[in-house]
């Protein structure tokens, strides 16, 4: 490789600075607090003790000003949306039950009150939510409708004589399911229900419904059940809620986007029920962003554990009798180093997402809001699937030691496992991303159903996706003779990703247009292709973000190391999908094989820096105190 070598020693603090970016100071504060003994992990606690500990830790967080970050300064908040998300994400280094509980309280519950409610709700509740005087739930998911929340069954029927809404679960499928904070601690719930007034259903709206009285008993008409043991996250008190004709006052409706007058007259600035609901949902993307980010932090922690172990564990002898450090094996490097490169890549893409969320002006055009929702959905899916896969790999890379709870990977695996299917099922989310691309954000696309995807495409597909795009023309200028260097050319890598995205998208669009009249069958026959379109779009976003972060790195040595790591991300991603590139004439056989050789070479080149690279994450040492690392 005709590229400058990485210096023998790179300062991990320089990597930390590059990783921490815009909210570096806040991140330092969180790390400092998380180092306290009271934020210790959970090995050995039973569910009740674990829940108690998490609530205690939540109160410790409430004593800082970080819960205020995400809220309006008019009510004691700090108007720092990005900081709020960062502070949730960082909890992903520690007990993920705390991350989820904090996310439910301040992100989902508090966020819904702020973003779906109006001044009277803010005045009455926001301070109490921030300081934990009021614990709450976000009751959207139902037993019968998890992904397809637009069709949930709970009803809230307005009763003009009493000026009340009657909240009701009409069937077992309407039971609110997996509701965090419900089984033990929650007092008030934001309940999503079909609003009915004047005998007419108006779609899903959010209502504030007390679920417990002062004594902690279930409120009249409310039945609360504990979801019981879960694979992980047992410090979160997930519960089921059912409502039997529960009456709440008219102002229980969070009425930013729609209202019901005293006489029952319905009004909303958004005419379509579906569009209104997805506008409401769109305001709530912080939760999805936070889950993706905390999955990233958990992955960083797992890889730190596995790389440190692999860097000291020895097994089998060399000819001279010395035992080989396992991370010196190519096979072991292949397991951990591409995963590490992808973790960096996703981190930088996440940083950009958080910044974009933070900087989104309240009066931004709707397309910008849609683009942000799409990016949040795609990155959440890719980040959480990567967490599932990388944490699994990390466990296996530590052998039997990785299986002992004391070595921390067991809980990491179990706790993060649900991330791929909560806050939006990843498959549904990737579909959403593809749909956004297909309709080029010209229409509101957030309706999650496949049917809507097919309909939009059939009716509104725009023709901006072209073969022989700029990316394609660039790639065609290259010849076989460029092989020696082109793999490490960032522009080549980025154009290759861009070209793949454009081609996959245009070909899926063509297949959808050619389809028969049965919209479901049309969509379903190309679903694998649609999902691919979503994935390769995210791949492109991620590589571009990594490339920008390398460019922005202030320390020259760290920048050289990140350059090679970005190569490893790009080339291992190309390698994994090289069948596609071969099938579509984007890689020759020779260059495809060269990609594999380059990944191997990069593994060898980066191996001496593996410890530095994980130390750059600066995971608080308390969460790395695994006995297997004691020697």
Site for its own copies in 132-171 (CB under 8 A): 141, 145-148, 151
Q: Which stretch binds its own copies (CB under 8 A): 65-73, 109-117, 478-486, 588-596?
A: 588-596
Question: Binders of its own copies among 361-380, rule CB under 8 A?
Answer: none
Smaller CB separation from its own copies, 304 or 426: 426
φ/ψ bin of 18: left (φ > 0), alpha (ψ from -120 to 50), beta (otherwise): alpha
* Neighbour count for residue 618 (Cβ, 10 Å): 20
Structure tokens at 341: 């490169």
Smaller CB separation from its own copies, 145 or 247: 145
Site string for its own copies, 496-535 (x = CB under 8 A): ----------------------xxx---xxxxx--x----
Q: Rounded to an integer, what distance in angstroms lies between the CA atom of residue 320 and that of residue 302?
A: 33
Question: Binders of its own copies among 431-470, rule CB under 8 A?
Answer: 431, 448-451
Angle at 175 between CA 170 and CA 176, to 5 degrees: 130
The nearest distance, CB 387 to its own copies, in angstroms, is: 12
The nearest distance, CB 493 to its own copies, in angstroms, is: 18
Question: Binders of its own copies among 231-290, rule CB under 8 A?
Answer: 231-232
The nearest distance, CB 303 to its own copies, in angstroms, is: 17
Report how far Cα 490 is from the mean position of its chain's Cα atoms: 27
Q: Rounded to an integer, what distance in angstroms lies between the CA atom of residue 606 and that of residue 618?
A: 19
Smaller CB separation from its own copies, 290 or 401: 401
The nearest distance, CB 421 to its own copies, in angstroms, is: 5
Q: Do residues 511 and 472 touch, judged by C-beta distance below 8 A?
A: no
Smaller CB separation from its own copies, 222 or 531: 531
Q: Which stretch binds its own copies (CB under 8 A): 82-90, 161-169, 270-278, 423-431?
A: 423-431
Compute the half-sphere exposure of residue 279: CA atoms within 13 Å on the CB side of its CA.
19
Q: Residue 626 interacts with its own copies (CB under 8 A)?
A: no
Q: Residue 406 interacts with its own copies (CB under 8 A)?
A: yes
Q: Which stretch binds its own copies (CB under 8 A): 128-136, 185-193, 400-408, 464-472?
A: 400-408
Q: Residue 317 interacts with its own copies (CB under 8 A)?
A: yes
Choosing from 273, 373, 417, 567, the residue that interacts with its own copies (CB under 8 A) is 417
Choosing from 578, 598, 613, 617, the residue that interacts with its own copies (CB under 8 A) is 578
The nearest distance, CB 368 to its own copies, in angstroms, is: 27
Smaller CB separation from its own copies, 107 or 534: 534
Q: Rounded to an integer, what distance in angstroms lies between the CA atom of residue 269 and that of residue 276?
A: 9
φ, ψ dihedrals at 358, nearest 5°: -65, -40
Choosing from 319, 363, 459, 481, the residue that interacts with its own copies (CB under 8 A) is 319
Smaller CB separation from its own copies, 266 or 385: 385
Choosing from 103, 111, 235, 402, the residue that interacts with its own copies (CB under 8 A) is 402
Site string for its own copies, 4-33 (x = CB under 8 A): ------------------------------
The nearest distance, CB 439 to its own copies, in angstroms, is: 18
Angle between helices 589-606 and 556-576 (to 10 degrees): 140
Q: Which residue has the tokens 């570096």?
A: 24
Give, in order, the Cα–Cα distances in Å from 220 to each of 205, 244, 380.
22, 9, 38
Q: Rounded to an integer, what distance in angstroms lies between the CA atom of residue 24 and that of residue 69?
A: 15
φ/ψ bin of 35: left (φ > 0), alpha (ψ from -120 to 50), beta (otherwise): alpha
Question: Binders of its own copies among 51-70, rule CB under 8 A?
Answer: none
| Farthest CA pair distance, the chain | 91
Smaller CB separation from its own copies, 531 or 549: 531
Angle at 21 between CA 18 and CA 23, to 5 degrees: 150
Angle at 211 between CA 210 and CA 214, to 5 degrees: 80
Question: Binders of its own copies among 28-47, rule CB under 8 A?
Answer: 43-44, 46
The nearest distance, CB 568 to its own copies, in angstroms, is: 14
| CB-count exposure of residue 133 (10 Å: 0-12, 13-18, 19+) | exposed
The nearest distance, CB 345 to its own copies, in angstroms, is: 21
Torsional sign, CA 488, 489, 492, 497: positive
Smaller CB separation from its own copies, 60 or 593: 593
Q: Residue 228 interacts with its own copies (CB under 8 A)?
A: yes
Q: Residue 316 interacts with its own copies (CB under 8 A)?
A: yes
Smaller CB separation from its own copies, 71 or 138: 138
Nearest to 121 by CA among 247, 254, 284, 249: 254
Nearest to 280 by CA among 149, 169, 377: 149
Q: Is residue 441 within a helix (H) or strand (E), and if so which, with residue range?
A: none
Structure tokens at 142: 């139902």
Nearest to 208 by CA among 246, 240, 261: 246
Torsional sign, CA 56, 113, 195, 426: negative
Smaller CB separation from its own copies, 87 or 299: 299
The nearest distance, CB 506 to its own copies, in angstroms, is: 16
Structure tokens at 429: 């989310």
Q: Residue 625 interacts with its own copies (CB under 8 A)?
A: no
The nearest distance, CB 588 to its own copies, in angstroms, is: 10
Q: Residue 49 interacts with its own copies (CB under 8 A)?
A: no
Bridge partners, residue 210, by sequence: 188
Q: Which residue has the tokens 């023998």?
A: 8
Site string for its own copies, 176-215 (x = CB under 8 A): -xx-------------------------------------
């Amino acid at each position: 490789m005709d590229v400058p070598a990485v210096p023998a020693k790179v300062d991990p603090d320089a990597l930390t600075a590059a990783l921490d970016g815009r909210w570096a100071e806040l991140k330092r504060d969180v790390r400092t607090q998380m180092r306290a003994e009271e934020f210790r992990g959970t090995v050995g606690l039973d569910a009740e003790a674990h829940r108690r500990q998490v609530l205690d830790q939540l109160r410790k967080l409430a004593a800082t000003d970080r819960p205020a970050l995400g809220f309006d300064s008019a009510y004691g908040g700090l108007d720092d949306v990005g900081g709020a998300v960062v502070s949730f994400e960082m909890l992903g280094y520690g007990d993920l039950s705390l991350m989820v509980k904090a996310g439910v309280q301040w992100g989902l519950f508090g966020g819904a009150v702020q973003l779906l409610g109006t001044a009277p709700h803010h005045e009455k509740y926001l301070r109490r939510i921030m300081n934990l005087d009021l614990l709450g739930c976000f009751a959207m998911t139902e037993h019968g409708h998890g992904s397809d929340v637009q069709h949930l069954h709970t009803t809230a029927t307005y009763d003009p004589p009493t000026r009340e809404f009657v909240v009701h679960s009409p069937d077992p499928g309407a039971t609110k399911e997996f509701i965090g904070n419900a089984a033990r601690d929650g007092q008030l719930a934001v309940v999503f229900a079909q609003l009915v007034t004047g005998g007419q259903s108006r779609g899903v709206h959010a209502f504030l419904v007390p679920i417990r009285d002062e004594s902690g008993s279930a409120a009249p008409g409310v039945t609360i059940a504990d979801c019981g043991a879960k694979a992980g996250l047992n410090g979160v008190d997930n519960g089921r809620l059912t409502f039997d004709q529960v009456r709440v006052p008219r102002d229980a409706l969070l009425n930013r986007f729609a209202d019901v007058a005293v006489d029952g007259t319905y009004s909303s600035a958004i005419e379509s029920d579906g569009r209104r609901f997805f506008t409401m949902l769109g305001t709530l993307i912080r939760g999805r962003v936070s889950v993706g980010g905390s999955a990233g932090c958990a992955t960083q922690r797992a890889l730190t554990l596995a790389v440190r172990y692999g860097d000291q564990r020895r097994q089998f002898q060399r000819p001279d009798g010395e035992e080989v450090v396992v991370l010196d094996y190519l096979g072991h490097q292949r397991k951990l180093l591409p995963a590490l490169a992808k973790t960096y890549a996703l981190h930088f893409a996440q940083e950009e997402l958080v910044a974009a969320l933070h900087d989104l002006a309240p009066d931004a055009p709707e397309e910008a809001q849609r683009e942000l929702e799409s990016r949040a959905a795609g990155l959440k899916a890719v980040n959480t699937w990567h967490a599932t896969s990388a944490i699994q790999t990390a466990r296996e890379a530590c052998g039997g030691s990785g299986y002992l709870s004391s070595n921390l990977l067991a809980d990491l695996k179990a706790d993060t496992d649900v991330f791929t299917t909560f806050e939006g099922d990843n498959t549904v989310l990737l579909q959403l991303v593809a749909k956004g691309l297909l309709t080029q954000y010209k229409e509101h696309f957030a309706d999650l159903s496949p049917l809507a995807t097919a309909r939009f495409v059939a009716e509104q597909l725009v023709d901006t996706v072209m073969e022989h795009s700029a990316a394609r023309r660039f790639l065609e200028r290259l010849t076989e003779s460029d092989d020696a260097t082109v793999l490490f050319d960032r522009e080549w890598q980025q154009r290759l990703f861009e070209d793949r995205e454009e081609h996959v998208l245009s070909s899926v669009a063509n297949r959808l247009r050619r389809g028969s009249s049965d919209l479901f069958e049309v969509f379903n026959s190309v679903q694998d292709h649609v999902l691919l379109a979503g994935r390769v779009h995210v791949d492109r976003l991620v590589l571009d973000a990594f490339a920008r972060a390398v460019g922005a790195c202030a320390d020259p040595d760290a920048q050289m190391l990140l350059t090679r790591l970005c190569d490893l991300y790009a080339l291992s991603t190309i390698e994994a999908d090289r069948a596609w590139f071969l099938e579509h004439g984007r890689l020759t056989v020779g260059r495809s094989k060269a990609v594999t050789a380059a990944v191997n070479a990069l593994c060898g080149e980066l191996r001496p820096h593996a410890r530095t690279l994980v130390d750059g994450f600066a995971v608080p040492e308390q969460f790395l105190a695994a006995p297997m690392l004691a020697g």
